[in-house]
Structure 1
Amino acid sequence: MFSLTRWTPAWRLPEFNTLVAFLVISGMLFAFVKIADEMAEGETVHFDEAVLLALRQPGDLARPVGPWWLEAAMVDITALGGWTVLTLLTVVVLAYLAITARRGAAALVLAAVAGGALLSSALKVGFARPRPELVDHLVNVSSASFPSGHAMLSAATYLTLGALLARTESRRSVRALIFGVGVVLTLVIGVSRVYLGVHYPTDVLAGWCLGASWALMCWLVARWLRPRGDETDAAAAEPG
């Protein structure tokens, strides 16, 4: 008699997630390099300035488009990607993971946030792009412009936390909602930086690409380094 081996779809194999992650990382890193190259050569000036001007009142570049409450909302939203909020959030999460003895998850969060912050600071110094001068800044800034630290760190932090929280739910719809919240927060924080006139659009695009790819790379390293049989850390290291 012949026996048929049960066929497993490719997307259910453990190697499939790793392959997809490598492809996504490669694509985002290529996009970052392309944006950085075009920016350094001055090819993005017209696009950047056109977007900044489109978000300001004609004849009054100190006033953004939209009602008064939209500007206030953008100021509040942009704070979610700032050092204070991200540091407090990271400390609280690390404390919780330490108490619950989830060492792999704690290492993943620490690497994603601290490593992303160091990388962002180094790149800002290296590129040394001045902040936009075409429009008024609606919040205070002090560092260089490229890449956007808010966009990069919010991607690294909220995407990592979204993936970790999503693993605590068995229902796909809830997991998708949790991870989706992380994605939305990352996007609106980046948009707020352009709306407030403190970043060029290409700063934010580059920050998104690098932050998301950094979060994925941290996840891959966490999978490779976790001890065999550590089920708690294994679940924490899987993306949503």
Structure 2
Amino acid sequence: MLDDIRSRFKLELGSVLALAVIAAGLFVFVRIADEVVEGDTHGFDQKILLALRTPGDLANPIGPPWLEGVMKDLTSLGSFTVLTILTLSAILYLVLDGKRGAAALTAASIGGGTLLSGLLKMSFDRPRPDLVAHLVDVHTLSFPSGHAMMSAVTYITLGALLARVSAKRRIKVFIVGLGILLAVVVGASRIYLGVHWPTDVLAGWAVGAAWAMLCWEVARMLQRRGAVEREPEEGVPESAT
């Protein structure tokens, strides 16, 4: 009886937290988008980009020479190629492990996020920054940042997926935290390299996190219905669940 109450409380608390993150992410995105459309973010965006460049030489970023190389390496972690390889690898692993429900959900979550990112870019049609030199090649629209959004979607989704295979709470926190950290550094690298306005990245993080949490909540609902494999409970071996 007591275990049932605890389990129900954890499910309800998790749903409340997920809905709070979704609502907060959508609220932040809408506010930023509204300000961008009105042109009210231009001063803020310019100030941040200029602060990251050497005064008098806007083609030269601040910091030691090796930092630019590090940022280019980090930004590649949010590229379409890298994220696709990671996603396909995770899906293949799940299929081989017999977790077809989780594999299908992963494909739908990340595939849907990719489609949403493209639709949002076309809807807002914001050009890339022309204030400073671009330190990497870019060919798409600017708002929201696809790297920031898809890094949040992919790394948080895959982090939550990997966390499901462990029953230890500290391992779950570490894996999901690592996914969030990767999304943050990828987005920050886009600003440093001058290929996105800061508000592009902030909006990408917001909507990406909201989408990832929405997919996570859907996964929890499907788990309760038996459509997706359940995660092991803390202190219980996976073979016993």
**Structure 1 length as normaliser, TM-score?**
0.91
Corresponding letter in the other structure for 1:97: L
Runs in 1 of length 4+ with deviation above 6 angstroms?
A: none
Q: Does structure 2 conserve the Cα–Cα contact (< 8 Å) formed by 1:154 and 1:186?
A: yes
Q: What residue is the counterpart of 1:65 in the other structure?
A: 62
Q: 1:50 aligns with which of 47, 52, 64?
A: 47
Q: 1:233 aligns with which of 216, 229, 235?
A: 229
Inter-partner Cα distance in structure 1 for 2:31 and 2:215: 23
Is 1:156 the counterpart of 2:121? The answer is: no
Asked if residue 129 in structure 1 is aligned to residue 126 in structure 2, the reply is yes
Q: Write out per-residue CA displacement over residues 58-77 of structure 1, whole angstroms, 9 at most, x where no aligned residue.
A: 10000000011110000000
> Is the 1:151–1:207 Cα contact (8 Å) retained in structure 2?
yes
Match of 2:21 among 24, 28, 49: 24
CA contact 1:137–1:197 (8 Å) conserved in 2: yes
Q: Deviations over 1:68-98 (max 9, x none)?
A: 1110000000000000100111111111111
Structure 1: tracts of 5 or more residues without a match: none
Q: Do structure 1's residue 195 and structure 2's residue 210 form an aligned pair? A: no
**1:59 and 1:184 mapped to 2: Cα distance?**
33
Other structure's SS at 1:62 match: strand
Provide the rounded CA distance (Å) in 1 between the counterparts of 2:167 and 2:2: 25
1:141 partner letter: V
> 1:118 corresponds to which residue?
115
Alignment RMSD (CA, Å): 1.9
**Residue 167 (1) aligns with residue 164 (2):** yes
Asked if 1:77 is matched to 2:57, the reply is no
User: Could you tell me how far apart the structure 1 residues matched to 2:190 and 2:10 are?
Assistant: 40
1:225 CA displacement: 3.3
Partner Cα separation in structure 2 for residue 217 and residue 113 of structure 1: 12
Q: Deviations over 1:199-220 (max 9, x none)?
A: 0010000000111110111122
Change (3 A) 1:11 1:49: farther
CA 1:35–1:171 in structure 2 vs 1: closer, same or farther (change >3 Å)? same
* Residue 140, structure 1, aligned to residue 137, structure 2: yes
Aligned length: 231
Is the CA contact (8 Å cut-off) linking 2:21 and 2:209 kept in structure 1? no
Distance 1:211 1:52, change over 3 A: same
Contact kept in structure 2, 1:156 and 1:212, CA below 8 Å: yes
Write the letter of the residue equivalent to 2:202. L
Stretch deviating more after TM superposition (99-108 or 63-72): 99-108
* Displacement of 1:229: 4.4
Distance 1:79 1:119, change over 3 A: same
> What SS class does the counterpart of residue 13 from structure 1 fall into?
helix
Which amino acid counterpart does residue 235 of structure 1 have in structure 2? E
Displacement of 1:10 in angstroms is: 9.6
**What TM-score do you get using the length of structure 2 for normalisation?**
0.90
Q: Does the Cα contact within 8 Å between 2:58 and 2:133 map onto a contact in 1?
A: yes
Q: Which amino acid aligns with 2:66?
A: W
Aligned 8 A contact 2:167 2:231 in 1: no
SS at match of 2:186: helix
User: Which residue is 1:213 aligned to?
Assistant: 210
Cα distance between partner residues in 2 of 1:165 and 1:225: 17
Q: CA deviation at 1:15?
A: 1.5
